[in-house]
Amino acid sequence: MDAQKLNTIAKAMVAKGKGILAIDESSGTCKKRFDALGVDCTEENRRKYRQLLVSAPGIEQYISGMILYDETLRQKDDAGVAFSEVLNKKGIIPGIKVDMGPKTLALHGNEVVTEGLDGLRERLAEYVKLGAQFAKWRAVITIGPDMPSQACIAANAHALARYAALVQEADMVPMVEPEILMDGTHTIERCYEVTAKTLQALFAQMTEQGVVTEGAILKVSMVLAGKDYAQQAQPEQVAEMTVKCLKENVPATLPGVVFLSGGQSDENSTIHLDMMNKIGGMPWPLSFSYGRGIQAPALKIWAANMNDVEKAQAALAFRAKMNSLASLGQYSPSLENEKPYA
C-alpha cells in the first residue's frame, strides 16, 4: 500500500469546490428509474445515458470523481473509448461500487448486512486494470422499534472495515458509506444518536483492521428526522446537528467527508450542504457524493427525448454547479431561478 498515493487521490476527490457524482446504480435500480419514465432498460440505452453523464461538457469544473457500476466501467463511448478513459481525459477520477448489496442479517429479520467480501481482492485487481482509482461500499442502517441492534451496527462496521483494508491493499481509496435510512417516524435526535453510534463503531473497526484514515473518504447521511415524522427539522438544525455529530465522531485525519442525498429533494440536499459549510470550522472539507440529487433533472429530459443530450447535460452541469457552490458555502436558493430546465 502506498499511503502517500492514497492520500493524494483522496484529497483530489474532495478538491475545493468539487464533489463526487454517483452513477453506480445497479441494472435493477436503473430499470426502476427507466421504467418510471417510460424508457426501455436495455444495455445500449444504459450505455447511451451513462455516456451523456461522463461526457457532459464542463462537468469537470464541479465534479472530481464518478462512482461507476461494474457494467459502466466496462462500457465505451460511441468512438470506442472506455468511459474510464473519457473521465481521465477530463481530470475526473473513476471509481467503482464493489458491494453486492444488503441481505437480511441472520436472526435479525428486519435488518440487513452488506455482502460482497468474498472474491473482492480478485475483483479489485481487475478494476484497477480497468482504470478505477477508488471504490465504494454502502452499508444500510434502519431506525425503527428496537432497531438498529448492536449486532447490525457491528456486522456492518466490520464489513466496511474489511472492505476498506482490501481496497487500500490494492492501492485504491476506499469510500466507506454507512447510510442511516430516512425511512421511518424517528426524531432528528434519534437519528443523531444512531449516526454517532454507527460512526464510532466504524472507525473503531477501521483502526483494528489497520486502515489508514488519511487514505479513505467517508460518505455519510445527514442527521435528519424520519421522512414520516410529523415535524421536519429546519435546515439550520439539520446543519448544526450533522456538523456536531461529525466533529465528535470522525477523525480529523480523514481527507474529507461527502454526503449522500438519500431521499431528500434535489434542492434540500443542496441547502443543507450549504448551511453546513456556512457554519465552517471543520477539520475536513464537507462536500457531496450525490446520485439522484444531481442526475434527476438530466434523466427526465433525456427520457422525454433521447436526442436532447445537450439540454440534459446542461441540466446535469447546473445541478453539479449548485452543489459545488454549496460545498463552498456560497449557494443561495435564488440561484435556482437560473436553471436551464423547467
DSSP 283: S
Say if residue 99's pLDDT is above 90: yes
Using one digit for the tens of pLDDT, what is the confidence trace for 118-164? 999 999 999 999 999 999 999 999 999 999 999 999 999 999 999 99
- Is pLDDT above 80 for 342? no
Average pLDDT, the chain: 96
pLDDT, tens only, 195-208 = 999 999 999 999 99
Residue ranges of the domains in the chain?
Answer: 3-338
* Catalytic-labelled residue, pool 90, 97, 219, 321: 219
Beta bridge partners of 68: 23, 96
pLDDT band at 272 (very low <50, low <70, confident <90, very high): very high
Longest Cα separation, the chain: 54
Nearest to 263 by CA among 183, 203, 321: 183
- Give per-residue burial for 80-96: e unless 16+ CB within 10 Å, then b: eebbbebbeebebbbbb
Averaged over 230-256, what is the pLDDT? 95
Between the alpha carbon of residue 225 and those of residues 186, 260, 290, the distances in Å are 6, 15, 19
Q: Which residue has the cell 464510532?
A: 200
44 counts as catalytic: no
Question: pLDDT band at 109, cuts 50/70/90?
Answer: confident
d(CA 113, CA 111): 7
Could you give the percent of the chain with pLDDT greater than 90?
92
Amino acid sitting at position 285: P
Nearest to 186 by CA among 220, 230, 152: 230
pLDDT at 239 > cutoff 90: yes
User: pLDDT tens across 176-235, in order?
Assistant: 999 999 999 999 999 999 999 999 999 999 999 999 999 999 999 999 999 988 888 899
115 noted as active-site residue:
no
Q: Does CATH number 3.20.20.70 belong to domain 3-338?
A: yes
One of 111, 177, 179, 321 is an active-site residue; which one? 177
CA dihedral angle for residue 73, residue 76, residue 81, residue 87, rounded to 10 degrees: -40
Q: Which of 58, 56, 53, 51 is nearest to 82 (CA)?
A: 51
Q: Does residue 266 register a pLDDT over 90?
A: no
Q: What is the pLDDT of residue 298?
A: 95
Q: How far apart, in Å, are the Cα atoms of 293 and each of 15, 57, 90, 158, 316?
A: 20, 19, 22, 29, 10
Match 434542492 to its residue by C-alpha cell.
Answer: 267
Q: Which pLDDT score, from 0 to 100, does residue 335 have?
A: 94
